[in-house]
Amino acid sequence: MASGSGGEDVWIPSVCGMCPDQCGILVHRVDGVVTKIEGNPRSPLGRGRLCARGLAGIQLLYDPHRLNQPLRRGNPEKGIGVDPRWQPISWDEALEAIVERLKQVRAEDPHRLLLCGTPASPAPLAFALGVFMPAFDSPNGFVCDERPNAGVEHMLARSLHGSISMYPDPDFCEYLLLFGADCTSGATAEKMADARVRGMRGVAVEPFLSPAAEKADEWLPIRPGSEGALACALLNLLLNEYRLFDAEYVRRHTDGPYLVRPDGAHARDTASGKPLVWDAAAGHARPFDEDGGDVAIEGTYVVDGEECRSVFELLREAVRRWTPEAAAEATTIHAQTIRGVAREFGEAARIGSTVTIEGRELPLRPAAAVCGPGAYGHDNGRPTALAIALLNEVVGAGDVPGGLLGSGAVSLGRPQTGLPRWVPCADSDGLLQSEPTPENRTDDWPAFDGRFAFDPRPKVLIDCGSNLLMGAAGPERVATLKECFVISVSLYSDETAEALADIVLPDASYLERLDPPQQSSPAGRGDWACQVRQPAVPPLRQRRHFSEVLLEIGQRLGIADAVNARTNIFYGLRLPHTLDPEQRCSWEEMVDRICQGGFGPEHGLAWFRENGVLTWPKRLEEVYWKPFDAARVPLRYEWLAGWQPCRAGRPQIGFDLQAVSYPVPWHASQTCENPWLDEVSQSEPYSYFICLNPRTAAAKGIADGDPIWVESTAGRRVRGRARLTEGVHPEVVAIGGNGGHWARGMPVARGQGAFFNALLTFDLEQPGPTPLAIDGDARVRVYKE
């Protein structure tokens, strides 16, 4: 819309905050009113284009149901469906009440403070978890990721790629094998479209024909939770039957050649303690890091009188039981299909081929297997994700052109400064260190000692917009939190606030706040970006940015000096930008220091306000680090032995179906309250419905559109309307994520879609095969209302 004449008409560069991708945006403000949000063409994230969510941010800004002032719970009773009887209070009153509680907790046991946040707001979350919580001396901060077992993805990305996440190479991939993953949308959407046009073949393995699977050339419907069996069978075929694997890669870039003793420990050199490999030319074992010889990756060898086998040999052994027939039994995918996929994948990897990029010749392995939330979101998620990740490793497609890349594994810094810098490091065994050591961190980070120190009875819980009652916690946890003082920092009076909160603080949306710069980049070649989020309008009414609020809380608590110290550490500030303990800075001044600390005085906050994004080109070694770094990835064959079907995958009398959820591309957390996005879901046939296969539905007398109940074995049930579609496995019920809100404070979202997470069991007493892994699907039965 064009503006009137004579008034204000500006475009403000900022960063979208609707999902973790954080694309660059330009916000059009005319006479003080935000009239449009567009992508920022100068930002590598989005390149001037935004998804439905990013464009819909305006509705979030002006939603009349937004919280506009602090509230106190008037009703002493807590629980789902209870009316909180909110009493509006002043910020002063709210902060006094909060600080009083925090003082008590700090005096008794600071570990009793729990804080959780949402990945859609990584910058404020980082400040809360990385600065405030350590300053308070509580380690109990966590990210409430609504995808079960998201930690598995990060864990594998760390140990196999040295990064937080993994993504197929959009520039060179030619064969994409997706296990419950979406590689069509997000910051690389355009490049993945290019890939499809140039002929990249996609195979999507998932129980529901999701929006992501739509773009695949072949949809392989699978029994949920059995993806690991399929991956192991593919490994078995590649390693044992077809012998399609990259021996050289295994030899040089993995711990495949490392010899393992019968007791499972590495065979080590007596002098140096280093793991041993077998030199076939020399006829004896030697430390892994010596050059020359002919290192074997297969076979059994005698070392110090013991029969040792290589890790690679043990991996081959571990998958041998997964014949295509066994996998067909577990997955309901035909054995012939499994054979076909293995051969396709192995051949598509073009083992031994190279490509010349920017004048340098690198290995080319244009096949990638991706493990997404649909596959790792089960209680067998860790071995499943490993098996899938190993598909890349065995064909040599890890962090090389065409294969699976660790996003942001390497940063060599801006050309001018060489900072920030982090590179994959090898430990003393030559293996990729799970925790990279960026040069700008100190040893102040607490070391992980293998124990989870978790007090299940927190005294104070701060929910930073995560609405954890609909995500991690699950409604049955309400009882355990009833004695806890809960502070909700949120855009709306959401389910968590209404059921549990004692104090609610009105958060500033991403369009109303200033956040420190974050470095990121879409996967593959391109540019790095550092972007600063700045407010398009000052926070409306009495909303306040929670980072600023934490600063004030820190001051009132008397821990401001610790906050300053943590800020220096977390943001890597060096002189002259460091904060002295007694210094009291505004949030804006802090952000300015962080900008200057990272990018020099010429790129302080003022520069970022004007320009929005600082970019520099990614170097080849930052995109494809394997050929340039000696660190080896651990194959972890021992995790595969424990693979079994997920709990929900096991049949039970009377409960014949498995309920799964899937991500809806135009939604993220809480977006059902956004009326433009709600309208999209109303425009689309599946996301607000419960999807059933027509044959399954017919057997139960269910017609399209019928109101139905989905009930779990634990007796929890969810109501919705049936949608019959051929695009769902007959044993499966598919429910779009993010739906089913019931909060009175979210009237647009209320009643839309179905609340899938109600069906899940968050049962710490009965862990699955992997500790702390939960099953992201449920065994259910379905019947008409």
Partner 1 sequence: MRQGMVIDLKRCIGCFACQIACKAEHGTRPGTVWARVIKREYGTFPEVRRVSLPLLCMHCRKAPCVEVCPTGATHKRADGIVTIDADKCVGCRYCVMVCPFGSRHYQDADHTYFRGREPDPYEARAYAQHPTGVVEKCDFCVERVDRGLDPACVVNCPTRARTFGDLHDRESEVSRLIDERGAFRLHEELETCPSVFYLPP
Partner 2 sequence: MPSADALRRHLTDLNLTYRPQREWVEGRGLLVVAAHFFSGVGAGAWLFSVALDFDAGLVISAAIVAGLAAPAHLAFLGRRQRFWRAALRPRNSWISRGVWGLAIFLAGAIPYALPAVRDSAFGPVALGVSLAGMTVVLAYKGFVYVASRAIPFWHQPLLPVLYIAYGLRGGAAALLVAGAVAGDVFDIGLLEVIKLWVVVSSAVLVLLYLALARRAGGAGRRSASELVAGKVSPAFYAGTILCGLVIPIVLGALGAATGASRGLLAAVGLSSLVGDFYIKYCIVKAAVYLPIVEDLPAPRRYGTRRAAAGL
- Which residues make up the interface to partner 2 (CB under 8 A)? 679, 682-685
The SS3 assignment for 57 reads: helix
**Binding track over 650-669 against partner 1, x by CB under 8 A:** ---------------xx---
Tokens of 181: 């993953």
Q: Which helix (H) or strand (E) holds 515?
A: strand 515-520
**Per CB under 8 A, 43 contacts partner 1:** no
- Of 41 and 705, which CB lies nearer to partner 2 in the complex structure? 705
Given 299, 685, 707, 767, the residue binding partner 1 (CB under 8 A): 685
Q: Which does 258 bind (CB under 5 to 8 A by kind): partner 1, partner 2, none?
A: none
Helix 311-319 / helix 227-236 crossing angle, nearest 10 deg: 120
Q: Is the peptide bond before 148 cis (omega within 30 degrees of 0)?
A: no
Q: Which does 37 bind (CB under 5 to 8 A by kind): partner 1, partner 2, none?
A: partner 1
HSE at residue 510, side-chain half, CA atoms within 13 A, is: 35
- Of 348 and 748, which CB lies nearer to partner 2 in the complex structure? 748
What's at 760, amino acid-wise?
L
CB 205 within 8 A of CB 399: no
**For residues 124 and 590, what is the distance between their CA atoms, to the nearest angstrom?**
13
**For residues 77 and 94, what is the distance between their CA atoms, to the nearest angstrom?**
19
Identify the bridge partners of residue 302 per DSSP, sorted by sequence position. Answer: 307
Given the DSSP bridges, would you call strands 175-179 and 367-371 parallel, antiparallel or unpaired? parallel
Task: Outline where 33-85 has alpha helix (H).
Answer: 52-55, 57-62
**Rounded CA Rg of the chain:** 26
- Of 184 and 681, which CB lies nearer to partner 2 in the complex structure? 681
- Of 283 and 685, which CB lies nearer to partner 2 in the complex structure? 685
**For residues 622 and 429, what is the distance between their CA atoms, to the nearest angstrom?**
23
**For residues 104 and 101, what is the distance between their CA atoms, to the nearest angstrom?**
5
Question: Which among 656, 751, 735, 653 is positioned nearest to 692, based on CA atoms?
Answer: 735
**Per CB under 8 A, 695 contacts partner 1:** yes
Q: Which does 453 bind (CB under 5 to 8 A by kind): partner 1, partner 2, none?
A: none
- Of 334 and 719, which CB lies nearer to partner 1 in the complex structure? 334
CB 324 within 8 A of CB 238: no
Given 24, 39, 134, 408, the residue binding partner 1 (CB under 8 A): 39
- Of 458 and 736, which CB lies nearer to partner 2 in the complex structure? 736
**Per CB under 8 A, 267 contacts partner 1:** no
**Per CB under 8 A, 37 contacts partner 1:** yes
**Per CB under 8 A, 50 contacts partner 1:** yes
- Of 300 and 682, which CB lies nearer to partner 2 in the complex structure? 682
Q: Which does 608 bind (CB under 5 to 8 A by kind): partner 1, partner 2, none?
A: none
Q: Which sign does the torsion angle of CA 693, 696, 698, 700 carry?
A: negative
Applying CB under 8 A, the span of 73-81, 208-216, 321-329, 546-554 interacting with partner 1 comes to 208-216
- Of 57 and 162, which CB lies nearer to partner 1 in the complex structure? 57
- Closest distance of CB 725 from partner 2, Å: 13
What's at 291, amino acid-wise?
D
Residue 528 has φ and ψ, to the nearest 5°, of -75, 155
**For residues 482 and 544, what is the distance between their CA atoms, to the nearest angstrom?**
27
Given 676, 709, 742, 762, the residue binding partner 1 (CB under 8 A): 676
Given 14, 43, 184, 226, the residue binding partner 1 (CB under 8 A): 184
**Per CB under 8 A, 264 contacts partner 1:** no
- Of 289 and 704, which CB lies nearer to partner 1 in the complex structure? 704
Applying CB under 8 A, the span of 321-329, 347-355, 358-366, 678-686 interacting with partner 1 comes to 678-686
List Cα–Cα distances, 256 to 249, 264, 430, in angstroms.
9, 14, 12
Applying CB under 8 A, the span of 99-107, 214-222, 459-467, 598-606 interacting with partner 1 comes to 214-222
Given 693, 738, 752, 761, the residue binding partner 1 (CB under 8 A): 693
**For residues 411 and 396, what is the distance between their CA atoms, to the nearest angstrom?**
22
How many residues touch partner 1 under the rule CB under 8 A: the total is: 61
- Of 2 and 107, which CB lies nearer to partner 1 in the complex structure? 2
Three state DSSP letters for 501-558: CCEEEEECCHHHCCEEEEEECCCCCCEEEEEEECCCCCCCCCCECHHHHHHHHHHHHC
Question: Which among 454, 378, 452, 385 is positioned nearest to 774, based on CA atoms?
Answer: 378
Given 11, 35, 139, 585, the residue binding partner 1 (CB under 8 A): 35
Applying CB under 8 A, the span of 47-55, 248-256, 356-364, 427-435 interacting with partner 1 comes to 47-55
- Closest distance of CB 679 from partner 2, Å: 7
- Of 90 and 682, which CB lies nearer to partner 2 in the complex structure? 682
Residue 446 DSSP one-character state: P
Applying CB under 8 A, the span of 169-177, 206-214, 599-607, 702-710 interacting with partner 1 comes to 206-214
Q: Which does 461 bind (CB under 5 to 8 A by kind): partner 2, partner 1, none?
A: none
What's at 52, amino acid-wise?
A
**Per CB under 8 A, 320 contacts partner 1:** no
Angle value at C-alpha 520, between 516 and 526, nearest 5 degrees:
140
**For residues 506 and 515, what is the distance between their CA atoms, to the nearest angstrom?**
17
User: Over the range 447-466, which residues count as b (16 or more CB within 10 Å of their CB) and which as e?
Assistant: eeeeeeeeeeebbbbbbbbb
Applying CB under 8 A, the span of 184-192, 284-292, 388-396, 627-635 interacting with partner 1 comes to 184-192
- Closest distance of CB 227 from partner 2, Å: 31
Angle value at C-alpha 678, between 674 and 680, nearest 5 degrees:
125
- Of 153 and 206, which CB lies nearer to partner 1 in the complex structure? 206
- Of 289 and 679, which CB lies nearer to partner 2 in the complex structure? 679
Identify the bridge partners of residue 354 per DSSP, sorted by sequence position. Answer: 363
- Closest distance of CB 694 from partner 1, Å: 8
- Closest distance of CB 33 from partner 1, Å: 5
Site for partner 1 in 705-764 (CB under 8 A): 725-730, 747-748
- Of 272 and 682, which CB lies nearer to partner 2 in the complex structure? 682
**For residues 170 and 407, what is the distance between their CA atoms, to the nearest angstrom?**
12
- Give the residues lining the site for partner 1 (CB under 8 A): 1-2, 30, 33-39, 46, 48-52, 55-56, 58-59, 61-65, 184-185, 189-190, 192-193, 196-197, 209, 211, 214-215, 219-221, 665-666, 675-677, 679-680, 683-686, 693, 695, 725-730, 747-748
